[in-house]
Structure 1
Amino acid sequence: MKKFLITVVVTFTTTLLSYGQVSAKGHDVALEVKNIIELDFVSSLTNPHFVFNQASDYDNGKTLEQAGTFKVRSNIQWIVDVKTATTFFQSNNGYQGLSASKLSIRKNGETVFKSLSTTPQVLTTGPRGGFDLNNFQIDYFAAPSYILPGEYTIDVVFTLSAP
């Protein structure tokens, strides 16, 4: 019994002494997270192009579906605005009277087209997330009426921002 008691005391003392020698230190780790917001555009077509070659095209206008795909990655909610760079289309025939409002846009899958102008308007909004979550396609609708034959072009500007 005496031997057992000595063994317990030695074990207990050794354990206490070994714990008494342990030292721990630490430090804080900080993550500084800033806003990130990125827009990527993948055009389904090199340059969206309408061809008006029948009277019904002029009477009814034409739709160009899935004209491009947008991808957004952001750690905050976001808005994509759309506008034209100029009030009128530029032409190769000298006619400068084709208004930007003759071109409309919508997010693919929606029913209402929005006429374009130099005033920005919201095309769509979305939540924070990566390209896999935040992507959408656009459709265009053009109704130029009976204008002079020629090529007409206009720059469409998309802006990604935080609300």
Structure 2
Amino acid sequence: MFGTETTKLPPYAIAEMGVGFVPEGRKIFANLTVEENLKVPVDRPGKWTIQTVYELFPRLQERRNNKGRQLSGGEQEMLSIARALLLNPKILILDEPSQGLAPLIVREVFRIITQMRAEGMSVLLVEQNVRMSLEVADWVYVLNDGEIAYSGTAADLQADEGLLQSLAGVSAEKWEI
């Protein structure tokens, strides 16, 4: 990452390099309030503060005194993203951010990803929701059994429905949200 081998580094060292990570499964502190969860990351200088993440996620501000376990899946995902943003990363890695979320919440998560990109943040998105991913991506890698099956622009893949279907199958089916 950024020219440095990271496979043997501890997570805190990777975070110090400017990498934010939102793991699959919404890893939050269930017994802490939203506000307490947001105070866990080390305070790093930059744009993202508790106030700016509350502006991005107004629902979290409304629920700031609720415990993590009292949040919906979508709110927990927002809290996970907010915690990663508080590290003021150069790149944000999101692993399956739409997994298990209602379609309306999926739309909100992807709106937030689009906003982060518009503000200049690099985002690496690992996602099975192919069509939504193509809407926010510049570049796409499709993996098959751990091998790169496709590498190219999102626009090129979107334009070739046959290729998209052959690479992604059911994941490429159109659905409205």
**Shorter chain as normaliser: what TM range?**
under 0.3
In terms of fraction of residues, the more helix-rich structure is 2
Q: TM-score, normalised by structure 2?
A: 0.19
In terms of fraction of residues, the more strand-rich structure is 1
Q: TM-score, normalised by structure 1?
A: 0.21
